[in-house]
Amino acid sequence: MQEHIVGFLSYLRGSRQYSAHTLRAYEADLKEFLEISKVKAPSEIERGVVRGYIADLQKKKNLSRNSLLRKISALRSLTRFLVERSLMSASPFVGLILPKKEKLLPKFMTEDEVSSLLEAPFASAGRFSLRDRALLEILYSSGVRRAELSSLNIGDVDFNGGFIRVFGKGSRERLVPAGNQALSALRAYLDSRPSRHGGEPLFLNSLNSRLSEQGIALIVKKWKNHLHWPKRLTPHMFRHSFATHLLNAGCDLRSLQEMLGHKNLSNTQIYTHISLEHLKDVYGKAHPRSRISHGR
């Protein structure tokens, strides 16, 4: 089975162009499936085995609904791959009732919270202060995913046009606007570097190599701790904040979909729920007939 899983992951990497992050998650999920199910060959992955595996996962109290669904998706994709290559006669998922996806609203920062974060005294970060400020500014200004940010090269930034060329999921290329403050912070960081050719990584680590996705997450965590930030803070929260603030300011869904690099508009529409909650809050505070009247 391990050989088939290696072939499956290679297929996702080459033909489907899955991100390194997704591939790592799928590899761990399928390894876990083999440990639990004890199957040795594709023909052993029967409906009862899959049902037992899902039941075992559902018993884990610390497993979120979305993590559960990702693990199921990894196994379902593997079985589809095996069926297509005639290594299995049929999918064991046919007729199975699967857990429904949990609809969680994305966590985001308010505009004031973003301002307080980006206007913090970065100079105390020492030799990485310019890099860290530029990195956080770009995360919020462009809404890019951390994997996309990690893969950017200097030549992907158009300082004159105010755009960044991003290669998203499935290697789909898109141009994302970047604000003046973000570009100014980026210029200051690049001017501090001894070499800044177009093909070089946009952000470097302490070894002057490309800053990894994990490195980006650590920088965000460092600033959370440095500022004694009271809430949870992740790179993806900058993306959620970017989308929410644009919608609240009147950006249309199609434009936001393009900037976020969503293949389906339905993925972008989740931000309308956040925007509607904002509108309800504004309405509740402003409309004279919506406020609770006391003493009547």
Q: Which residues are catalytic?
A: 145, 169, 236, 239, 262, 271
* Alpha carbon distances (Å) from 30 to 16, 34, 38, 181, 193: 18, 6, 12, 44, 42
Q: Report the Cα 158 to chain-centroid distance in Å.
A: 24
Cα 206 to its chain centre, rounded Å, is 24
CA–CA gap between residue 192 and residue 188 (Å, rounded): 7
**95: exposed, middle or buried (Cβ count in 10 Å: 0-12, 13-18, 19+):** exposed
Specify the 3-state DSSP secondary structure of 153.
Answer: strand
Please report, for residues 34, 42, 93, the alpha-carbon distance to residue 97 in angstroms, rounded to integers and kept in the order given: 22, 21, 8
User: Helices marked H in 233-269 — which ranges?
Assistant: 235-248, 253-260, 265-268
User: What DSSP state is assigned to residue 54?
Assistant: H
Cα–Cα nearest to 211, from 149, 122, 166: 149
Residue (of 122, 104, 126) closest to 135 by Cα position: 122
What distance in Å separates the CA atoms of residue 19 and residue 150, rounded to the nearest whole number? Answer: 12
CB atoms within 10 A of CB 289: 5
Q: Is 38 left (phi over 0), alpha (psi -120 to 50) or beta?
A: left
